A = this chain, B = another copy of it.
Amino acid sequence: MKPPPPLDADDAVAALSALAHPHRLAAYRLLVQAGPDGLSAGVIATRLDLPPSSLTFHLQQLCAAGLAGRRRASRMIFYAADYAAMGALVGYLTENCCGTAATCVPACDPAAAAPRASGRKSA
């Protein structure tokens, strides 16, 4: 069982596209830093100073790419980062870069990348 589910090229492009926008990247980092509980759409909109409809648009991209999940709590909707998805993306990016040893990036450290059972939610 591999915590980071194997990502294919299309998934990776989707995830990267989702992150490749200032507002979405900012929102995503907010979620990453907020932890598993996530943040409500309203809070995110306030912090990012974005109109609700624009925020929804971006949040949907993040969810569609599998980078975030949503959960309803009464009137509010909470979004939370999907850490496993990020791990999978990083894995995809660094895949095979260890073949060239010395030039490899930290995240690509074989010792850290292979054995790590941080299995988590994925929905």
Contacts and interface: CB of A to CB of B under 8 A. Distances in A.
Interface of A: 3-4, 9-10, 12-13, 16-17, 19-22, 25-26, 29, 32-33, 35-36, 81, 83-84, 86-87, 89-91, 93-97, 99-113, 116, 118, 120-123
Given A17-B20, A22-B9, A121 B111 contact: yes
Given A16-B19, A16-B20, A107 B122 contact: no
Contacts of A100: 35-36
Given A35-B99, A97-B32, A112 B118 contact: no
Given A16-B19, A35-B99, A112-B112, 6 more contacts: A16-B20, A29-B96, A32-B94, A32-B95, A87-B107, A109-B116
Contacts of A123: 101
- State the majority secondary structure of interface residues on A: helix
A35 B103 CA distance: 8
A106 B32 contact: no
A22 to B, nearest CB: 5
Contacts of A3: 106
